[in-house]
Amino acid sequence: CQIAPSGRWLNANPALATMLAYAKPLDLLTAQPDLKNFFFVDSEARDKFFRILDDNRRSGNFEADVRRADHQVIRVTITGHA
């Protein structure tokens, strides 16, 4: 997937959509337009992730609790680069 620094989804793949209990990527993009307010359980986690990206240009093995479409919370490892 790709996420803008603002927290808006740019795209998502079918595997991510399935993991987050959405039928297809478009459903994920429509239901969760902003990562900060629904996706991350801890609203500060997204900010911390992007701070790491800003400082290092990449983040490996960043763990966070995220919320699925069915409101179940799961722990994921996020890797990203700026």
Distance between CA 41 and CA 66 in Å, rounded? Answer: 5
Pairing mode, if any, of strands 58-67 and 9-11?
unpaired
pLDDT at residue number 82: 72
The span from the CA of 62 to the CA of 66, in Å, is 12
The stretch 4-32 carries a mean pLDDT of 89
Residue 36's pLDDT is 67
pTM of the entire predicted model: 0.79
Compare 24 and 47 and report the one with higher pLDDT. Answer: 24
pLDDT tens digits along 25-82:
999 988 887 776 778 888 788 888 888 888 887 777 789 999 999 999 999 998 877 7
